[in-house]
């Protein structure tokens, strides 16, 4: 057996890193820098920036709509992130268990869950808008009526509308969490489960002491990814409720969209985009730090 | 010689003719002159196959007469606000199309930004003079240049099932009473847009305008929350709120974000009345069984009194954004020869020139007499840059008030302050 020889990058990594750094800079850093530039300008959608100013930031902080939008965003994101993890994990574990037992139809089940994931956000919103239709002939309310329940004010009641938006997002987003957890679970050495079975561990104890600890990294990474995805969600809400009734379902990403395209306020929209960026980065740094401590 | 060759090629075979209209082009792929055209998805690329086929025929005929031209088509989505904002931004940066459809409410903004190019070579003074006054004012500048061609207009009317509501309500009070009676009979009394989209603000504004209310002053600054405008605004909100609170209108109106919902309710026989667009008359005629359609009638929108009526008028214009005279001419000719005449007649859309109503048999129906009558009370949305934000605030306000989340006075104060702050930043 011979020792490994020097790799091309040993000692002089920069020539190998430069292409990747340039690509990242061109496609990620430059747009972010441009948003930063616009945020501290007086740019509108119909007028290029003419001077540096913090007026957009001041106007945003003084906007009475912002607290309500932030509250809605936090609630929408928190509920989604927790539920996406729980449902994703449940489906992933069900799949693995079903495959281990040789159950038929597991591939079809996995495909079915993934099908929702490939539906564009706008289409997702439109599909659920039809299902939640509160007309006397609306799909879900008609089904509830057959069972002796309802009708439910899915989209016209401000609180229920947010619940409906969460349901639509969960339907679409669960598949992503399922993939992450499915891959992580498949990576756990089966010997650990054989040992647990020999020791007479119950399914719950096995889950708590073997599966969950070994999925910790996957949970952390998935938390960051689904948080960022959920924070950026606006297309499905735009199609489902448009942010209404009132501002009941207007999350930060949709508020940003409205600020730019209805108010024509490019500087204000850039400030909001920066806010989203900062929140997402903070989440990533927090989880990275937590992972580092856990190692 | 080259033109002759192209013309011969265009006429040569049916297969070539079929290829003249594709998903992104009209004309031969190698035609030497190119004009880019951004259009809405309601005609040439309509989801309705018959409409798309009819317009493909009109475009084929048009391009056969101009064999050295190719029109590269760009489709815009139905999300009007963002699409028009993007179009304006691209045009200012010199990256816009040569010719485009511009929403009538955005015309003034496009004009003020200086991106519209004259198409005087296509339209005669008589044709301009024949336009409805509010249309003529919108498409011409002080020098008399034709900066766009507003090729159809539309308006909002009250639809009613005459088997439930025999007489057309003329006032808000009558509308509420009729809707309440229909609700007691198990129908949805009066449906209207109240979800978060432009149609909500536009339809509701008729109630504000009927009282003489003004959204902005001559300088384009918001004034809807002060003085007499404030009183008119609150009265119009109270009308909608009372409809919902009394059960005359279902609470679900705050989730209605398209006009198709009304067609569906009419087809299902669940609605007694709804506030819709004039174009829905033709849709109902195509959708409903003949006997059921016979029950439906249109009338002017009710007002606070029978003498105070208004209706929002919209529609689309075609404008040249290129400085090239040949492209400006082609853009104008397309608006005139395809859209303003035969295209409108086929779709039953309302022309903006009085002469066209006499020219086409399509406008012989009695409903067009009513539409023409209602157009006398037509009000266009203000051509101010702040209008989209005012509309946004009205949508929020109506959603909050009708769902019981806010009181009208507080909601109006919030909307007015938000619009003023937005205007200050523009």
Cβ–Cβ gap B252/A262 under 8 Å: no
Q: Inform me whether the pLDDT recorded for B305 exceeds 90.
A: yes
Neighbouring-strand partners of residue B37: B73, B99
B75 upstream amide cis, omega within 30 of 0: no
Nearest CA in chain B to A267: B425
Q: What is the pLDDT of residues B333-342, one digit of tens each?
A: 999 999 999 9
Q: Inform me whether the pLDDT recorded for A294 exceeds 70.
A: no
Reported as a pLDDT band with limits 50, 70 and 90, residue B11 is low
Q: What is the pLDDT of residue B163?
A: 97
Q: Inform me whether the pLDDT recorded for B322 exceeds 70.
A: yes
Residue A268 with chain B: CB contacts under 8 Å: 425
Q: Is the ipTM of this complex over 0.95?
A: no
CA distance B214 to B408: 18
Q: Which of A46, A156, A265 sits opposite B422 (nearest CB)?
A: A265
Range name among B75-89, B108-122, B297-311 with the lowest pLDDT average: B75-89
Mean pLDDT of A204-228: 93
Q: Which of A246, A257, A267 sits opposite B399 (nearest CB)?
A: A246
Q: Do domains B2-153+314-367 and B158-313+383-425 have the same CATH topology?
A: yes
Q: Inform me whether the pLDDT recorded for B12 exceeds 60.
A: no
Q: What is the pLDDT of residue B80?
A: 78
Beta strand extents in B86-217 (DSSP E only): 99-103, 149-161, 188-191
CA distance B126 to B105: 25
Reported as a pLDDT band with limits 50, 70 and 90, residue B15 is very low
Best probe of the A interface among B193, B220, B252, B418, by most A CBs < 10 A, is: B252
A247 touches chain B (CB under 8 A): yes
Q: Inform me whether the pLDDT recorded for B10 exceeds 60.
A: no
Report the CATH fold assignment for B158-313+383-425. D-Maltodextrin-Binding Protein; domain 2 (3.40.190)
Cβ–Cβ gap B400/A245 under 8 Å: yes
Q: What one-character DSSP code corresponds to residue B341?
A: I
Reported as a pLDDT band with limits 50, 70 and 90, residue B13 is very low
Q: What is the pLDDT of residue B157?
A: 97
Cβ–Cβ gap A247/B400 under 8 Å: yes
Residue A64 with chain B: CB contacts under 8 Å: 414, 417-418
Nearest CA in chain B to A247: B396
Nearest CA in chain A to B391: A262
Best probe of the A interface among B88, B115, B254, B386, by most A CBs < 10 A, is: B254
CA distance B279 to B154: 7
Query: C-alpha dihedral over B219, B222, B228, B230, to 10 degrees?
Result: 180
Cβ–Cβ gap A263/B399 under 8 Å: no
Q: Inform me whether the pLDDT recorded for B398 exceeds 90.
A: yes
Annotated domain spans of chain B: 2-153+314-367, 158-313+383-425
Range among A281-290, B173-182, B345-354 with highest mean pLDDT value:
B173-182
Report the CATH fold assignment for A55-294. MetI-like fold (1.10.3720)
Task: Look up residue A45 and give its two tokens.
Answer: 């959608």
A161 touches chain B (CB under 8 A): yes
Q: Inform me whether the pLDDT recorded for B324 exceeds 70.
A: yes
Annotated domain spans of chain A: 55-294
Place of tokens 């936090």: A74
Cβ–Cβ gap B252/A134 under 8 Å: yes
Q: What is the pLDDT of residue A261?
A: 85
Q: Which of A156, A157, A264 sits opposite B85 (nearest CB)?
A: A264
Q: What is the pLDDT of residues B36-56, one digit of tens each?
A: 999 998 899 988 888 899 999
Q: Inform me whether the pLDDT recorded for B179 exceeds 90.
A: yes
Q: Inform me whether the pLDDT recorded for B106 exceeds 90.
A: no
Which three-class secondary structure string do you get for A120-159?
A: CHHHHHHHHHHHCCCCCCCHHHHHHHHCCCCCCCCCCCHH
Residue B265 Cα, gap to closest chain A Cα (Å): 8
**Average pLDDT over all residues of chain A:** 91
Q: Inform me whether the pLDDT recorded for A145 exceeds 60.
A: yes
Q: What is the pLDDT of residue B152?
A: 94
A49 touches chain B (CB under 8 A): no
Mean pLDDT of A151-157: 96
Mean pLDDT of B200-216: 97
Residue A103 Cα, gap to closest chain B Cα (Å): 43
Reported as a pLDDT band with limits 50, 70 and 90, residue B132 is confident
Q: Inform me whether the pLDDT recorded for B1 exceeds 80.
A: no
Q: What is the pLDDT of residue A292?
A: 64
Q: What is the pLDDT of residue A2?
A: 53
Q: What is the pLDDT of residues A81-137, one digit of tens each?
A: 999 999 999 999 999 999 989 998 888 888 888 888 889 999 999 999 999 999 999
Q: What is the pLDDT of residue A110?
A: 86
Q: Inform me whether the pLDDT recorded for A288 exceeds 90.
A: no
What's the alpha-carbon Rg for chain A, to the nearest Å?
24
**Which residue would you say has higher pLDDT here, A70 or A279?**
A70
A67 touches chain B (CB under 8 A): no
Q: Inform me whether the pLDDT recorded for B16 exceeds 80.
A: no
Share of chain A above pLDDT 70, in %: 95
Residue A258 Cα, gap to closest chain B Cα (Å): 8
Reported as a pLDDT band with limits 50, 70 and 90, residue B8 is low
Reported as a pLDDT band with limits 50, 70 and 90, residue A8 is low
Short-list B200, B274, B256, B194, CA closest to A129: B256
Task: Please provide the DSSP assignment of B195-247 as one string.
Answer: SSSHHHHHHHHHHHHTTT--SB-TTS-B-TTSHHHHHHHHHHHHHHHHHHHTT
Nearest CA in chain B to A238: B196
Number of residues written out for chain B: 426
* A-to-B residue pairs, Cβ atoms closer than 8 angstroms: 131
| CATH number of this structure's domain B2-153+314-367 | 3.40.190.10
Q: Which of A65, A134, A246 sits opposite B418 (nearest CB)?
A: A65
Reported as a pLDDT band with limits 50, 70 and 90, residue B373 is confident
Neighbour tally for B186: CB within 10 Å:
10
Residue A25 Cα, gap to closest chain B Cα (Å): 25
Residue B254 Cα, gap to closest chain A Cα (Å): 5
Q: Inform me whether the pLDDT recorded for B24 exceeds 80.
A: yes
Reported as a pLDDT band with limits 50, 70 and 90, residue B5 is low
């Amino acid at each position: 057996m011979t020792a490994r020889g020097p790799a091309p990058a040993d000692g002089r990594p920069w020539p190998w890193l430069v292409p990747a750094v340039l690509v990242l800079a061109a496609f990620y850093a430059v747009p972010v820098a441009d948003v930063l530039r616009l945020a501290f300008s007086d740019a509108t959608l119909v007028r290029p920036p003419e001077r540096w100013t913090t007026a957009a930031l001041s106007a945003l902080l003084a906007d009475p709509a912002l607290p309500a939008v932030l509250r809605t965003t936090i609630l929408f994101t928190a509920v989604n992130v927790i539920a996406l993890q729980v449902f994703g994990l449940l489906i992933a574990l069900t799949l693995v268990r079903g495959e281990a037992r040789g159950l038929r139809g597991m591939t079809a089940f996995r495909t079915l869950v993934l099908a929702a994931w490939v539906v564009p956000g706008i289409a997702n919103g439109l599909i659920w808008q039809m299902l939640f239709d509160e007309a006397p002939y609306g799909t879900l309310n008609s089904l509830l009526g057959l069972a002796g329940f309802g009708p439910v004010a899915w989209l016209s009641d401000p609180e229920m509308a947010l619940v409906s938006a969460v349901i639509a997002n969960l339907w679409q987003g669960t598949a992503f969490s399922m993939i992450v957890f499915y891959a992580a679970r498949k990576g756990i050495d089966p010997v650990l489960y054989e040992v647990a079975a020999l020791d007479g561990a119950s399914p719950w104890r096995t889950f708590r002491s073997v599966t969950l600890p070994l999925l910790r990294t996957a949970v952390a990474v998935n938390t960051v990814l689904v948080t960022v995805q959920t924070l950026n969600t606006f297309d499905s809400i735009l199609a489902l409720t448009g942010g209404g009734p009132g501002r009941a379902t207007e999350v930060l990403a949709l508020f940003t969209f409205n600020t730019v395209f209805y108010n024509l306020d490019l500087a204000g929209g850039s400030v909001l985009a920066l806010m989203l960026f900062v929140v997402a980065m903070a989440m990533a740094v927090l989880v990275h730090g937590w992972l580092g401590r856990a190692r | 010689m080259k033109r002759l060759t192209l013309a011969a090629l265009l006429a040569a075979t049916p297969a070539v003719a079929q290829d003249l209209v594709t998903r992104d082009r009209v004309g031969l792929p190698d035609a030497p002159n190119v004009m880019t055209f951004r259009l809405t998805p309601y005609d040439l690329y309509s989801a309705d196959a018959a409409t798309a086929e009819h317009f493909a025929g009109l475009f084929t005929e048009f391009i056969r007469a101009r064999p050295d031209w190719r029109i590269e088509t760009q489709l815009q989505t139905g999300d009007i606000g963002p699409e028009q904002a993007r179009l304006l931004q691209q045009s200012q940066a010199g990256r816009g199309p040569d010719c485009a459809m511009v929403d009538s409410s955005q015309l003034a903004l496009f004009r003020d930004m200086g991106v519209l190019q004259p198409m005087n070579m296509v339209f005669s003074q008589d044709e301009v003079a024949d336009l409805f006054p509010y249309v003529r004012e919108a498409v011409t500048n002080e020098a008399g240049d034709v900066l766009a061609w507003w090729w159809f207009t539309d308006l909002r009317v009250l639809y009613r099932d005459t088997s439930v509501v025999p007489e057309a309500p003329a006032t808000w009070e009558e509308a509420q009473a009729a809707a309440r009676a229909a609700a007691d009979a198990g129908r949805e009394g009066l449906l209207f847009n109240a979800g978060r989209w432009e149609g909500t603000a536009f339809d509701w504004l008729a109630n504000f305008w009927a009282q003489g209310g003004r959204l902005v002053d001559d300088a384009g600054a918001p004034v809807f929350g002060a003085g007499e405008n404030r009183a008119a605004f609150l009265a119009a909100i109270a009308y909608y709120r009372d409809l919902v609170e009394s059960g005359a209108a279902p609470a679900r109106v705050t989730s209605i974000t398209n006009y198709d919902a009304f067609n569906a309710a009419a087809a299902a026989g669940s609605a007694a009345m709804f506030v819709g667009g004039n174009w829905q008359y033709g849709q109902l005629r195509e959708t409903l069984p003949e006997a059921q359609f016979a029950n439906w009638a249109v009338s002017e929108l009710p007002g606070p009194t029978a003498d105070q009526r208004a209706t929002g008028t919209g529609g689309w214009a075609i404008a040249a954004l290129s400085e090239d005279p040949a492209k400006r001419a082609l853009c104008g000719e397309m608006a005139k020869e395809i859209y303003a005449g035969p295209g409108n007649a086929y779709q039953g859309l309302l022309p903006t020139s009085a002469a066209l109503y006499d020219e086409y048999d399509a406008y012989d129906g009695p409903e067009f007499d009513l539409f023409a009558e209602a157009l006398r009370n037509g009000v266009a949305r203000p051509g101010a840059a702040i209008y989209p934000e005012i509309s946004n605030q009205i949508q929020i306000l109506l959603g909050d008030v009708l769902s019981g989340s806010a009181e009208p006075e507080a909601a109006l104060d919030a909307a007015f302050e938000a619009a003023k702050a937005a205007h200050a930043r523009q």
